[in-house]
Amino acid sequence: MVQSSGRAEAGEPGSGRAASPRALWAEVQIDPVEIALPSGVGFTLRAYRPAADVAAPDAERDAMAVDEFDAAAAAVAARRVSNNEGGIQAGGRVAGDWADAEDLDEPDFDEVDDEIDEEASETDDELEAGETSDIPLFLGRRGRLYLFHSPDKLVEFVRSDVEHDLTQLETWSDLADRVGATDIEPLDEDSYELDLVVENLRGGSDVWEPTLILKAGELARDLGYALRIEPVLTALAPGSPLDDLDDSLRAVDNGGVGGFLARRRLRKVPAQQSALAWRTIIGKISAAVDWRD
Q: Domain range holding 260?
A: 21-291
Spatial CB neighbours of 49, under 8 Å, sequence gap ≥ 6: 29, 134, 135, 137, 169
Handedness of CA 82, 83, 88, 89 (dihedral sign): negative
Residues 97, 241 contacting (CB under 8 angstroms): yes
Does residue 286 lie in a domain region?
yes
**pLDDT tens, residue by residue, 212-238:** 999 999 999 999 999 999 999 999 999
For the residues 78-96, what does the mean pLDDT come to? 45
Does residue 4 lie in a domain region?
no
In DSSP notation, 194-255 reads GGGHHHHHHT-TTT--HHHHHHHHHHHHHHHHHHT-HHHHHHHSTTSHHHHHHHHHHHHHH-
Does residue 16 lie in a domain region?
no
Residue 145 and residue 142: Cα distance in Å, rounded? Answer: 9
Does residue 15 lie in a domain region?
no
Query: Where on the phi/psi map is residue 135: left (φ > 0), alpha (ψ -120 to 50), or beta?
Result: beta
**Confidence at residue 201, expressed as pLDDT on a 0 to 100 scale:** 95
Does residue 144 lie in a domain region?
yes
Does residue 107 lie in a domain region?
yes
- Among the listed ranges 28-37, 194-203, 219-228, 249-258, which one has the minimum average pLDDT value? 249-258
**Confidence at residue 57, expressed as pLDDT on a 0 to 100 scale:** 66
3-state class (DSSP) for residue 191: strand
Q: How many structural domains does the chain have?
A: 1
Does residue 219 lie in a domain region?
yes
Does residue 2 lie in a domain region?
no
Helices 241-254 and 271-287 cross at an angle (nearest 10°) of 110
Residues 236, 274 contacting (CB under 8 angstroms): no
- pTM of the predicted model as reported, rounded to 2 decimal places: 0.72
- Among the listed ranges 19-23, 64-68, 104-108, 210-214, which one has the minimum average pLDDT value? 104-108
**pLDDT tens, residue by residue, 251-281:** 887 765 566 676 778 888 888 999 999 999 9
More confident residue, 35 or 265: 35
Residue 70, pLDDT > 50, answer yes
Residue 64, pLDDT > 60, answer no
Give 134's strand partners.
Answer: 50
